[in-house]
Structure 1
C-alpha cells in the first residue's frame, strides 16, 4: 500500500508535488502532439498546424490537426485537382465579364480573351488569381457545378472535414468554408502526385497572356528544397499555408492555418521553415497519426 502524502517527509512531499504539477501542466497545453524527439516542434503565428512525411503519410507533429478553419486560397489546390481530372490542358475558354470581375488577388483576366486550362492553372496557383479560379469554374460548368465537384473530390480523397462554397477560397460570414490541417495535407499530397501540378507549383515564374506571373510562395526563395506550396489569406481565415520540401531524399508537407502574426514576432515564413527543419531532424520512428 502506498504511503499517504501527509506521512511523507517534507522533501519527498515537495518532490512529489513538483512532479504532479509538471504532469498537470503538460496536460493543459492544448492540442499539441509530437513524435518523441529531444526538441519540441516550434510554435509561431499559426493556431493549427501539421508536419508530415509526404511519402509515408505519417504525421510527425501537429497542433489541432482536425481543427476547422476557413482555408482561404489554399482551396485552389482542390480546384486545380478537379480541373486536372476533367479538362485537357490545351482546352480553351473565352473569358466573360463575370469571371474577370473578381475581388482580387487577380491576374488580369480580360473579358473576350482566350485562355487555356494550363494558363488558368498557373494564374490560380502561382499568383492566387481569383479571376483565374472563376474562369476555371466557368470551364467546369459554372460556379455551382465547380463547387459541387470540388466537394465531391475532397470526400473522395478522405478530406471529410473540408467543404467549400467558392472556387477561389473567398469567404464571407455565413458561408460554409472550412478545412483542417490534416485535410489540406491530404489534398496537397494528392495534388503533388500529379506531374502537371507539381511542375506548376514549383516554378518561380510563368508566361501568361499579356504578362509574366511570379510565384507568391515566398518560402521558395527563403528555404532550399521547397518543391511547391500555396498561400492564402482572408479576414476570416487569417493566414493559411501548405507547402512541401525535400532534403536528402526525405519529403515533408507542412500545413499552417489561422495565422495570427504579431509585430516583432516570428513571421509565417519563419514558422514554416522551423517546422521543416524540425521535421527533417526527426528520424520518423515515432509518429502521432497518418494522412
Structure 2
C-alpha cells in the first residue's frame, strides 16, 4: 500500500515537472503527424490565398479596412505578446519623456517568459525599456513600464481604455506582457484596428523599425561587479527582410500558440496581416499573406473592418460600455473563460488534475503509514 502511494506521488510529481508552462517564449518542436504550414508554390496574381494552420487570420488594406482574406476574424483568443502593442500605445503618452529613469525591481526579474535581462536596482531609461519590449518582446521591460506608469493595475486600465477608444470591442487586457490569463483576449479584427493606431504613432514606429539596439550594462547589486551591455535584435524580422516591411509584433505562449501582426507598404498601399492561434510558422504565414495580397491586381473584398475614425465608438457607446473599471469588466464577466482565451481552460484543467492527484497521493500515503504503524503495534502486542 505504501509502495503504491509513493509510486502515485512520483508519477504526479514527474507529470508536474514535465508539463509545459504557459509562458515560454519559443514554440516547441512540431509534433509528429501535426499539419505544418508550408508556403504555397504560387503566391502570384489570381492564385489561391495561403491557408495558415491556426485559429484565425486576415489580410487586407490597413487604410480602408478592406479584407481580401478573412478567417474567424471575430473569434476571441489569447493574444500572447502582440498585446504589447496595446501596452505601448496606452503608455507612450503617459511616459512621454524618453529619458525618464526607471529603477528595475526584483519583480521585473522574476517574471515568466522572454526577458531582456533587467537587473534590480539598476536604472533604465523609458526609451530603452520600450525598445526592449517591442524589439525583444521582453516581459521584464513590459512589467517595469507598467510600474513606471503607476502600477500594473493602472497600466492595464489604461490599456483597456485605449482598446475601447479604438473600437476594439472584443479585446480585454489583463497584464502588460501578454502572459496567458483567462481574462485576456483579442481577435484578429481588433488586432487590425490596433495595427492602424500603432502605425500612426511616429515614436512607436521608430522603435518598431529598429533592427538592432545596444542594451546597456550595469552593476550587480549583490556582488557590485559591473557587467557590459549587449546588442538586442528585433524578433519580428519584418523590417529589412520584407519588401516595404514596417514591422509590428510577434508572440507565442503554450496556450495562445503563435500570434503575429505584420505590416508592409508598397506603391502607396499599406497591407496588414494578422494571425491568432497559429500552430506553427506564424511569421512565414503572415509574410506569405502579405506577399499574396500585394500580388493581386484586382483583389476581391470579402469584408471590411472599421479602422481609425470609423472604428471609434460614439459617445453613447462609450458611456454605456465603460462599466465600472474603464476596462469593460462587465464584458469580461459575461464572457466565459473558454471564449475569453481559447485553450486557457484546458491549461487550467491540466494544471488542476495533477494537483488533485498529488493531494490524493499524499492522503493515501498518510493513510498507509497510519495503517502500518497500527499494524506494527498490534503485532508487538500479540508477541
Q: Report the TM-score, using the length of structure 1 for normalisation.
A: 0.81
How far apart in 1 are the matches of 2:283 and 2:153?
34
Alpha-carbon RMSD across the aligned residues, in angstroms, is 1.6
Query: Which residue, 140, 164, 181 being the options, matches 2:188?
Result: 181
- Residues 46 and 296 of structure 2 are in contact (CA less than 8 Å); yes or no, is this contact kept in structure 1? no
Distance 1:201 1:284, change over 3 A: farther
- Report how far residue 52 of structure 1 moved: 1.8
Q: Deviations over 1:168-226 (max 9, x none)?
A: 00014xx2010000111111210111011111111111122222211001344542221
Q: Deviations over 1:219-266 (max 9, x none)?
A: 4454222111211011110000001012222211110110112xxxxx
Query: Which residue, 235, 244, 264 being the options, matches 1:245?
Result: 264
How far apart in 2 are the matches of 1:273 and 1:129?
23
Q: What corresponds to 1:258 in structure 2?
A: 277
Distance 1:55 1:108, change over 3 A: same
Q: Deviations over 1:145-168 (max 9, x none)?
A: 111111111011000100011110
How far apart in 1 are the matches of 2:296 and 2:72?
20
How far apart in 2 are the matches of 1:166 and 1:66?
21
More strand by share: 1
How far apart in 2 are the matches of 1:282 and 1:171?
37
- Residues 247 and 262 of structure 2 are in contact (CA less than 8 Å); yes or no, is this contact kept in structure 1? yes
Aligned: 1:67 with 2:75: yes
Q: What corresponds to 2:103 in structure 1?
A: 94
Query: Which residue, 151, 166, 178 being the options, matches 2:160?
Result: 151
- Report how far residue 123 of structure 1 moved: 0.6
- 5+ residue gaps, structure 1: 1-36, 262-266
Q: Deviations over 1:10-39 (max 9, x none)?
A: xxxxxxxxxxxxxxxxxxxxxxxxxxx833
How far apart in 2 are the matches of 1:113 and 1:104?
21
Q: Which is greater in Rg? A: 2
Q: Report the TM-score, using the length of structure 2 for normalisation.
A: 0.62
Distance 1:270 1:285, change over 3 A: closer
- Residues 195 and 261 of structure 2 are in contact (CA less than 8 Å); yes or no, is this contact kept in structure 1? yes
Q: How does 1:1-291 map to 2 (within 5 A)?
A: 38-88=46-96, 89-172=98-181, 175-210=182-217, 211-220=230-239, 222-261=241-280, 267-283=281-297, 286-287=300-301, 288-291=303-306
How far apart in 1 are the matches of 2:283 and 2:105?
36
Q: Deviations over 1:56-98 (max 9, x none)?
A: 2222221111111100000000000012121122222111111
Q: Deviations over 1:94-115 (max 9, x none)?
A: 1111122211200011111111
- Residues 60 and 284 of structure 1 are in contact (CA less than 8 Å); yes or no, is this contact kept in structure 2? no
What count of residue pairs does the alignment treat as equivalent? 248
How far apart in 1 are the matches of 2:169 and 2:127?
28
Q: Which moved more, 1:242-251 or 1:129-138?
A: 242-251
How far apart in 2 are the matches of 1:196 and 1:219?
18
- 5+ residue gaps, structure 2: 1-44, 218-229, 307-383
